[in-house]
Structure 1
Amino acid sequence: MFNQALWKKRIVPMSGLILLLVILALFFGLRPMSTNMLRYWLWKSSTSVPTLSGDIMNKGAHIRYVAYGSGEPVLLLHGGLSNKLSWFSQIPWLVKAGRKVVLIDTRGHGESTAGHTALSYQIFAEDTLLVLDRLGIPRTDIVGWSDGGIIALLLGLESPQRVGKIVAISANFHPSGVTQAADGTPSNPLRQQMQQIGDWLRSWWSGAGANHPALAAEIQALWQVAPQLKHADLQAITAPTLVIAGENDIIDLPHSGELAQMLAHAKIEIVLGAGHAAPVTHASEINHLIAAFLGINP
């Protein structure tokens, strides 16, 4: 005879154990990413460094920002379909090293709203300058990843007086630099089977929630036509720049080399084994390169 009480007594704890084992497997399997995330949350929950957060309003959008610590500023600009939390492997050590770390959720991403204007790198750059104005920062070093790197280059071109050094990670200056379609289409049967899980993860990663599909469509359309920086534009960027690319990046390595060659004062570093997500997957190497280029003792 089926004993429901006994079944609940035995099976429910077993389900909890299985869930715990899955969580532990993910934690250890995803190291060092999971370890860095844990360190970030421990730092964030225990830190007593000065923290300033708020919003600026521009063209109908609320742009969310946060600044940690004090000292010389460094602005971290995340990639498309991501959010400011993507810098979890960089924030604590930069603050500990005595830098004022400024983070912005790009328009439509994370805690920032989209507003009533079409998304473009120009409007992203405009939002960024308004945040710097709000914080009273006349000039800052910038570390930009992917779309964030493009924004950094655009600021270096159009507002050079506001930019110190630039670290451009996995950034392209023209759509032709992307080696695979950036339209989110699954490229093989396995990825097709994982589509639903992937959609949820992408919406979580962008921070856009239910607005993620609309945001993704607009950002992916932007990637097809922008940026459109010419060689003359790159040559006009005088800020010392470190171009970083992953060995297996979706940004074509010759394109990254061309970017470094065309910039007035630049060098390039290739992170072996890394793809487009090097600040997360290869944080130790990325952190070392950032520290050395910006003259920081981590």
Structure 2
Amino acid sequence: MSTHRSEPITATFCGDDGLTLVADEWNKPAAAAGSGTEFDRSRPSILMLHGGGQNRFSWKKTGQILAEQGLHVVALDTRGHGDSDRSPDARYTVEALCADTLRVIEQIGRPVVLIGASMGGLTGILAAHEAGPESVQRLILVDVVPRYEKEGSARIRDFMFSHVHGFGSLEEAADAVAAYLPHRTKPRSPEGLKKNLRHRNGRWYWHWDPAFLTKPHEDPFLRVESLEQAAIDMSIPILLIRGKLSDVVSEEAVQDFLDKVPHAEFAELSGAGHTAAGDDNDAFSDVVAQFVLG
């Protein structure tokens, strides 16, 4: 089944604490009857959760590909990221993100497949466990397991911290990203970064709440045992995707996860690192589509 359009609409959902969460949505079910847009009602919706410091645009190409296969797709801006509301009390724990996700699933009103990258994957584990198999029918973890490599995670946080005060130009931001992701081909133009940055007071700033990193609190993602047990307890199909160049998920951590969650499937992308969807989107989207549609 194919759609008559692959461009999303902008949608809003109500998260926990009354926060407004913004999303890109393809093939909105309520609009299917009279708009010429169609989606496969026999298949679950797709809910995509990005990683820390990213936003819904990280999923755009994959969202379009899945939509063109006739799927209803929602790519969400997590609280404090992108165009979604910031938490006034800086509640950015995995439990808070899970609560938002459960609210969004309720508002979608149909079973979903959760696709979560990094922070979004940990959120997805907890949300899938709490929602149950009738609401979350499949789970895709993108370069994340509960026992991830702390050095790789620290490198991400260091990159985010080092640019909290913004950039003097888009070119400066592009150079910083290129240095952080040396395996990825640098775009000829930095214009694409405008989806991730906002211009104010003469500088370009990442479009996420600095309190996500700077508010003193316990690391929200150090919930190893509970997250691991949640994954073990689930009976739904799970796919773990690792970027072969990743320093966040090691080969040993993958094997440990597969030993503990033997019903999980595994795929590795040879040309990708931790930001797998952006590093090799064609290969990533192929693997995701095969798992979702299989």
The aligned counterpart of 2:201 is none
Q: Does 1:181 align with 2:154?
A: yes
Q: Does 1:128 align with 2:117?
A: no
In 1: Cα distance, 2:62 partner to 2:216 partner: 25
Q: Is the 8 A contact 1:170 1:245 kept in 2?
A: yes
> Post-superposition shift, 1:177?
5.4
The aligned counterpart of 2:246 is 249
Q: Does 1:63 align with 2:36?
A: no
Q: Is the 8 A contact 1:160 1:239 kept in 2?
A: no
The aligned counterpart of 1:167 is 140
Q: Is the 8 A contact 1:247 1:270 kept in 2?
A: yes
In 1: Cα distance, 2:253 partner to 2:74 partner: 29
Which residue of the other structure, out of 92, 99, 117, is the alignment partner of 1:145? 117
Question: What secondary structure sits across from 1:65 in the alignment?
Answer: strand
Q: Does 1:205 align with 2:196?
A: yes
The aligned counterpart of 1:112 is 84
Q: Does 1:217 align with 2:189?
A: no
The runs of 5 or more residues in structure 2 that have no matched partner are 28-38, 178-192, 199-204
Q: Is the 8 A contact 1:63 1:111 kept in 2?
A: yes
Query: Which residue identity does 2:244 align to in structure 1?
Result: E
TM-score normalised by the chain length of structure 2: 0.71
> Post-superposition shift, 1:212?
4.2
> Post-superposition shift, 1:86?
0.5
Q: Is the 8 A contact 1:150 1:227 kept in 2?
A: no
Q: Is the 8 A contact 2:15 2:101 kept in 1?
A: no
TM-score normalised by the chain length of structure 1: 0.70
Q: Which moved more, 1:98-107 or 1:249-258?
A: 249-258
Question: What secondary structure sits across from 1:168 in the alignment?
Answer: strand
In 1: Cα distance, 2:52 partner to 2:208 partner: 14
> Post-superposition shift, 1:112?
0.9
Question: What secondary structure sits across from 2:20 in the alignment?
Answer: strand
In 2: Cα distance, 1:220 partner to 1:146 partner: 20
> Post-superposition shift, 1:101?
0.3
Assess, with a 3 A threshold, how the Cα gap between structure 1 residues 105 and 276 changes in structure 2: closer, same or farther: same
> Post-superposition shift, 1:204?
5.7
The aligned counterpart of 2:130 is 158
Q: Is the 8 A contact 1:149 1:169 kept in 2?
A: yes
In 1: Cα distance, 2:194 partner to 2:251 partner: 28
In 2: Cα distance, 1:219 partner to 1:145 partner: 24
Q: Which moved more, 1:269-278 or 1:64-73?
A: 64-73
Return the structure number with greater helix share.
1
The aligned counterpart of 1:273 is 271
In 1: Cα distance, 2:258 partner to 2:215 partner: 28
> Post-superposition shift, 1:286?
0.8
Question: What secondary structure sits across from 1:89 in the alignment?
Answer: helix
The runs of 5 or more residues in structure 1 that have no matched partner are 1-45
Assess, with a 3 A threshold, how the Cα gap between structure 1 residues 84 and 214 changes in structure 2: closer, same or farther: same
> Post-superposition shift, 1:66?
3.6
> Post-superposition shift, 1:291?
1.4
Aligned residue pairs, count? 244
In 1: Cα distance, 2:209 partner to 2:11 partner: 24
Which residue of the other structure, out of 56, 73, 82, is the alignment partner of 1:101? 73
Q: Is the 8 A contact 1:249 1:276 kept in 2?
A: yes
Q: Does 1:261 align with 2:259?
A: yes
The aligned counterpart of 1:90 is 62
Question: Percent same amino acid at aligned positions?
Answer: 20
Assess, with a 3 A threshold, how the Cα gap between structure 1 residues 275 and 165 changes in structure 2: closer, same or farther: same
In 1: Cα distance, 2:173 partner to 2:225 partner: 30
